[in-house]
């Protein structure tokens, strides 16, 4: 098991799935559901409000991603996708990739949760009390 990103040329998920109609439709459904639930769009890493065009979705689990019959299928659960600014998303992956335990000895969901906590602690400043 590894949570490390593979280079683009060797990573079919990044080179094919993320540009597939299935992913674009799933991404649109995720944002529509957030809107229907009345949840504001914000980066999970830094907490800053954003638009759907300013956010990427990080997978906590890939079990809903399938390639069948020559086409990609995107059946991720809503809770398995986390909104992040591209910068915060990149930082999240750097935290995971540079920590041997997170990169190789934790499941993706646990590694992501730990890395998100580290990211939030670094990016979100505590409110100053008067």
In a domain? residue 128 = no
pLDDT digits (tens, 9 = 90+) for 92-123: 999 999 999 999 999 999 999 999 999 999 99
- Whether 128 has a pLDDT exceeding 60, the answer reads no
Please report, for residues 124, 125, the alpha-carbon distance to residue 128 in angstroms, rounded to integers and kept in the order given: 12, 9
Distances from the Cα of 112 to the Cαs of 8, 9, 54, 88, 116, in angstroms?
20, 24, 20, 12, 6
In this structure, what DSSP letter does residue 19 have?
G
In-domain check, residue 67: yes
What is the domain range of residue 29? 8-123
pLDDT confidence of residue 93 = 95
β 65-68/81-84 pair status: unpaired
Taking Cα atoms as reference points, which of 97, 89, 90, 92 lies closest to residue 118?
92
- Residue 19 domain-assigned (yes or no): yes
Q: How confident is the model at residue 91 (pLDDT cuts 50, 70, 90)?
A: very high
Tell me whether residue 41 is in a domain.
yes
pLDDT, one tens digit per residue, over 19-47 is 999 999 999 999 999 999 999 999 999 99
Q: Is residue 61 assigned to a domain? A: yes
Residue 12's pLDDT is: 83
Cβ proximity of 45 and 123 under 8 Å: yes
CA 5 to chain centre: 13
Per the model's pLDDT, the better-predicted residue between 14 and 51 turns out to be: 51
The CA dihedral of 66, 105, 15, 22, to the nearest 10 degrees, is 30
Asked if residue 72 lies in contact with residue 22, where contact means CB atoms within 8 angstroms, the answer is yes
Q: Is residue 2 part of a domain?
A: no
Q: What percent of the chain clears pLDDT 90, i.e. is strictly above it? A: 81
Q: What confidence score (pLDDT) does residue 14 get? A: 79
Domain membership of residue 129 (yes or no) is: no
- Give pLDDT tens digits for 48-83: 999 999 999 999 999 999 999 999 999 999 999 999
Q: Does 1 reside within a domain? A: no
Q: Answer yes or no: is pLDDT of 3 > 90.
A: no
How many distinct structural domains can be found in the chain? 1
Instruction: Report how far residue 9's alpha carbon sits from residue 15's, in angstroms, rounded to the nearest whole number.
Output: 7
């Amino acid at each position: 098991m590894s949570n490390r990103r593979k280079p683009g040329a060797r990573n079919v998920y990044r080179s094919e799935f993320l540009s597939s109609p299935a992913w674009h439709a799933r991404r649109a459904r995720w944002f529509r559901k957030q809107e229907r639930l009345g949840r504001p769009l914000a980066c999970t890493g830094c907490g800053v409000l954003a638009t759907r065009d300013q956010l990427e979705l990080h997978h906590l689990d890939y079990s809903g991603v399938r390639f069948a019959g020559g086409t990609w299928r995107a059946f991720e659960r809503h809770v398995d996708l986390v909104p992040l600014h591209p910068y915060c998303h990149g930082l999240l992956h750097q935290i995971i990739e540079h920590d041997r335990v997170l990169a190789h000895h934790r499941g993706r969901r646990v590694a992501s949760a730990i890395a998100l906590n580290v990211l939030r602690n670094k990016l979100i400043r505590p409110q100053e009390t008067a």
